Amino acid sequence: MWSLIQKIWQGIRAVQSFTMTVLFLLVVILIVASLTKGNTPVLPDAGVLVLNLKGVLVEQTREEAPEIALLQRDSAQPREILMRHLIEALKRGAVDSRIKGAILSLHDFRGGAPSKLHRLGVALDAFRKNGKKVIATSDSYGQAAYLLAAHSDKILLHPMGSVMLTGYGRFRLYYKALLDKLNITAHVFRVGTFKSAIEPYIRDDMSPAARRANEAFLGDMWEAWVDDVTAARKLSPGAITAYIDNAATVLRAARGDTAQAALNAGLVDAVMSRVEQRAYLKDAFVDNSKDGGPAAKPTNIAYGTYLQATGKGEATSGNAIAIVVARGSIVDGKAPRGVIGGDTFATLIRQARQDKSVKALVLRVDSGGGSAFASEVIRRELAAAQTQGKPVVASMASVAASGGYWISASADEIWAAPTTITGSIGIFGFVPTFEKSLDSVGIHNDGLGTTPLSGAADLTRGIQPVMADLIQQGIENGYRRFITLVGTARHKTPAEVDAIAQGRVWSGQKALDLGLVDHLGTLDDAIKAAAERAGISDWRTVYVEKQASYINRILSRMLRRIGPGTDSGLATMARLLAPVGRVLDDAKILVGMNDPQGMYAMCLACRAFSEEATGGR
Return contacts of 3-11, CB within 8 angstroms, 24+ apart.
none
How far is C-alpha 258 from the geometric centre of its chain's CA atoms? 31
> How many other C-beta atoms lie within 10 A of the C-beta of residue 171?
7
Maximum Cα–Cα distance across the chain: 101
> How many other C-beta atoms lie within 10 A of the C-beta of residue 598?
20
Q: Which of the following is catalytic: 100, 116, 195, 390?
A: 195
Dihedral over Cα of 608, 113, 343, 502: its sign = negative
Please state, in angstroms and as integers, the Cα–Cα distance from residue 54 to each residue in 71, 74, 608, following that order. Answer: 14, 12, 20
**How many contiguous H segments (helices) and E segments (strands) does the chain have?**
23, 23
**Distance in angstroms (rounded) separating the CA atoms of residues 258 and 243:** 12
**Distance in angstroms (rounded) separating the CA atoms of residues 438 and 446:** 12
Asked about 317 being catalytic, the answer comes back as no
> How many other C-beta atoms lie within 10 A of the C-beta of residue 244?
14
> Residue 178: how many CA atoms within 13 Å on its side-chain side?
9
**Distance in angstroms (rounded) separating the CA atoms of residues 113 and 607:** 10
Q: Which helix (H) or strand (E) holds 585?
A: helix 578-591
With CA atoms as reference, report the closest residue to 536 among 414, 323, 391. 391
Please state, in angstroms and as integers, the Cα–Cα distance from residue 366 to each residue in 197, 502, 570, following that order. Answer: 18, 21, 29
Which residues, 6 or more positions from 537, have their beta carbon under 8 angstroms from its beta carbon? Answer: 531
Residues in the chain: 617
**Distance in angstroms (rounded) separating the CA atoms of residues 283 and 340:** 47
Which residues, 6 or more positions from 534, have their beta carbon under 8 angstroms from its beta carbon? Answer: 319, 321, 359, 360, 390, 391
CB 569 within 8 A of CB 161: no
Q: Which of the following is catalytic: 140, 402, 408, 424?
A: 402
Asked about 402 being catalytic, the answer comes back as yes
> How many other C-beta atoms lie within 10 A of the C-beta of residue 181?
9
CB 174 within 8 A of CB 198: no
**Distance in angstroms (rounded) separating the CA atoms of residues 305 and 50:** 10
Which residues, 6 or more positions from 264, have their beta carbon under 8 angstroms from its beta carbon? Answer: 250, 253, 254
In DSSP notation, 123-170 reads: HHHHHHHTT-EEEEEES-B-HHHHHHHTTSSEEEE-TT--B-------
Hey, which residues are catalytic here? Answer: 195, 402
